[in-house]
Structure 1
Amino acid sequence: MTNVMGRIWYDVRVRAWFIQIVILAGFVGTISWLAVNTAENLARRGIRTGFEFLSGAARFPIAESLIAYDPTSSYLRAFTVGLINTLHVSILTIVIATILGAVIGMGRRSANPVVANMAGVYVEVFRNTPLVVQLLFWYGLLTLAMPASRAALEPVPGVFLSLRGLFFPWPVWNETIALLLMIGVAGIAASISIAAISRRDGRLLKRRSLIHKTILAMSAVGIAAAIATGTVRFDWPALSGFNFEGGATLTPEFTALMVGLVLYTAAFVAEIVRGAIAAVPKGQWEAGWAVGLRERQILRLVVLPQALRLMVPPMTSQYLNVVKNTTLALAVGYPDFAAVVATTINQTNQAIEGVAILMAVYLSISLSISLFMNWYNASVALVQR
């Protein structure tokens, strides 16, 4: 019997399973003890638990909302408003910072020393300054350096800039706007499809540029015709009392958050782009020159497709950081998801539920970004044969 037990114990697989079971049992036991202890302490203090509060009236205003909201709305509605605000800022930051960072990253490799040094100074300044300091700087600049509404600047007719934000005309939603959006989406889908098919069909690759230009020209003509014929109407801002009404508004809070996040993120994206391009072997440039390609053609057709495969993993981490950095919106007063949850916790005292929702939402967003970027990374990866 002793020999049998000894052989079982010295079996590598048995010991591995035993250790894992012990660790799992310890983890479950610790979580269970914490849950029971927390429940007893909450009950002793008379603090309610559960998620029933989500259906109750929020009773607090949200300064900026992309959907209808008022203080009589439920906490669930308030959470939805905060989540949409967070996604709105995150998506805009990712798109703009990626474009700006790519330009700056290629600028750092410029043969012009002025351009290269300016790009280098930009990257060093914004990467080595805390983001919250940058947000406060932009917010202070927008609120302290701008005039009051009655003395608002008007750089372009119909566009007003004051300490309350930037006010500009905005199209009134109607069937024509919906049709134009559908045309735009169809044009983007067609361009993506053409780009995908052209990789397999060399004949279409030669005509791809012409097809893209045709789609853009048709879309531009359609939009210009709709505006010229008056089928697209604009709502113009006008001074009313101490503020402007009508049109669209970029508030100082939103603008400071966007400017800070974009400039900060673009500095990191620039280094990712610069490093990926530098990692492509110099022989690829020489091969392009040997077949008569110009430098821009080599960069666009030879180097960037290879560098893109190196950019995707660090870009994924940077995009995840963008979502997490939006929680600093509280510093400038923008009502993102974290700010709405914090207000809810202060009112309901249900911190555990609030933090659990906060963690679940940000975890879901991060996993969604990771899954998408991993799928894209697999689609552009080289296939080994």
Structure 2
Amino acid sequence: MAATSSNPLRLLNDLRVRAVLYQVVAVVLVVGVGLYLFGNVSRKLAEQNIATGFAYLDRPAGFVISQSFIAYDSSNSYARALLVGILNTVFVSIFAVLLSTVLGLVVGIARLSRNPMLSLLAKLYVEALRNVPLLLYLFLWYALIVTVFPPVREAWQPIPEVFVSNGGLIVPSLRWSPAHSGVLLAALAGVVLAFVVAGRLRRRRVATGIERRSWPLVLAALLIPPLLAAILLQPDLVVNWPEKGRFRITGGLQVTPEFTALLVGLGLSASAGIAEIVRAGILSVGRGQWEASRSVGLRDGQTMRLVVLPQALRVIVPPLTSSYLSTFKNSSLAIAIGYPDLVMVSNTTMNQTGQAIEGIAIFMLVYLGMSITISLFMNWYNARVALVER
């Protein structure tokens, strides 16, 4: 009997059992507190005759969104409006990440240049952008675009059918259809397939030691999917030409001042931090790598591209993930300059429906989901480029 009664105590002395028990207790407490808060809030809202739930998403939104990457008008539902806000946020964040990565890489390498003028200019670039709040830069770029460029009736036309004014950049565009979307998805699949083929060919070259021309296979993997999709779907190539009126320009693809200001502000601000990350990563590679590369006849550019940067990635990628996450989350400042991102659309929805809790929950889940997606992708990439010690 005594031995039997002591069994639970023996189990509690096991570190693994205690670890699982603590996690179960923590989850139960969190779920219990969440259910209590949810019940309390639901009861208070019911007492004040305030509607709850997500049924409002099917109702017509009744407001216009100035920029949309998909078809939208005021008769569409709140769910469609929120989707427009999500896509606006995702697109500007992706473009900002690409812009900041390219600029950060160039400026980070320039910081280590043996040319003192180039190094000084890169340092001034980094310090000027890192030490000023992003919100002030958004106001600055937006004010410059609105005040420097002429009004719509006096829009510049640098080349035929392209207009530049304080209302944005307007260029000819294709009349989009589901067939075009299919070709675009096939092109993205081609890019992924090309990376896979290039990786396998590289591993085979390393394993066998035989040098073969791999670019024809990579090029075929890149081009065949979109070409097949174009042949099968046969998208119409109808151009939507912009037409200049007295007060506005209709037709074409418009890049608004708000989008441009947000893209430039996010991209330049993040590029300063990425430049320092790149500089730290390059400095982490020993000078012996440079000397060994020169001894086998590699030029400095080849050494940087083929020897130093691949080794520096193990230091660059982890903090680069944090920079990308910050860029995505900082896009919520778009509301300050009127860009219709997820936060701005959600605020409009909450003001019209009075259902603030649901609106806040939606854009919190969207930011959480996108942040987790970025983290998972960067962790996967970090594992792929990490050096394996012998």
* TM-score for both structures, normalised by structure 2: 0.85
Q: Does 1:288 align with 2:293?
A: yes
* Aligned-partner SS, 2:319: helix
| Aligned alpha-carbon RMSD (Å) | 3.3
Distance 1:28 1:377 in 2: 34
Q: Which moved more, 1:232-241 or 1:308-317?
A: 232-241
Query: Deviation digits for residues 168-213 of structure 1, max 9, x if unmatched?
Result: 233455899789868965764564245313422437756356887x
Given candidates 4, 11, 14, the residue that maps to 2:13 is 11
Q: Does 1:239 align with 2:244?
A: yes
Aligned twin of 1:255: 260
**Deviation at 1:340?**
0.8
Query: Conserved in 2, the CA contact under 8 Å of 1:89 and 1:258?
Result: yes
Distance verdict in 2 for CA 1:47–1:8, change over 3 Å = same
Given candidates 104, 112, 116, the residue that maps to 2:115 is 112
Structure 1: 5+ residue stretches without partners: 223-230
Distance 1:278 1:37 in 2: 56
Distance 2:242 2:86 in 1: 28
Query: Conserved in 2, the CA contact under 8 Å of 1:169 and 1:237?
Result: yes
**Deviation at 1:237?**
2.3
Q: Does 1:365 align with 2:370?
A: yes
Q: Does 1:207 align with 2:213?
A: yes
**Deviation at 1:42?**
1.1
Amino acid paired to 2:213: R
Distance 2:332 2:277 in 1: 24
Distance 1:376 1:50 in 2: 39
Amino acid paired to 2:243: A
Query: Conserved in 2, the CA contact under 8 Å of 1:57 and 1:74?
Result: yes
Distance 2:142 2:270 in 1: 17
Amino acid paired to 1:304: L
Query: Deviation digits for residues 121-163 of structure 1, max 9, x if unmatched?
Result: 1111111111111111111111122211121222333322111
Given candidates 325, 330, 349, the residue that maps to 2:330 is 325
Aligned twin of 1:33: 36
Query: Conserved in 1, the CA contact under 8 Å of 2:111 and 2:123?
Result: yes
User: Structure 2 matches for 1:42-191, cutoff 5 A?
Assistant: 42-172=45-175, 188=191, 191=194
Distance verdict in 2 for CA 1:21–1:352, change over 3 Å = same
* Aligned-partner SS, 1:249: strand
Aligned twin of 2:384: 379
Distance verdict in 2 for CA 1:24–1:207, change over 3 Å = closer
Amino acid paired to 1:361: V
Aligned twin of 1:227: none
Query: Conserved in 2, the CA contact under 8 Å of 1:199 and 1:205?
Result: no
Amino acid paired to 1:120: K
Distance 1:281 1:315 in 2: 21
Structure 2: 5+ residue stretches without partners: 228-235
Distance 2:191 2:18 in 1: 57
Query: Conserved in 1, the CA contact under 8 Å of 2:311 and 2:387?
Result: no
**Deviation at 1:8?**
2.2
Query: Conserved in 1, the CA contact under 8 Å of 2:153 and 2:245?
Result: no
Query: Conserved in 2, the CA contact under 8 Å of 1:158 and 1:168?
Result: yes
Q: Does 1:314 align with 2:316?
A: no
Distance verdict in 2 for CA 1:53–1:204, change over 3 Å = farther
* TM-score for both structures, normalised by structure 1: 0.86
Identity %: 45
Q: Does 1:273 align with 2:281?
A: no
Distance 2:214 2:7 in 1: 71
**Deviation at 1:23?**
4.3
* Aligned-partner SS, 2:73: coil
**Deviation at 1:16?**
5.7
Aligned twin of 1:226: none
* Aligned-partner SS, 1:120: helix
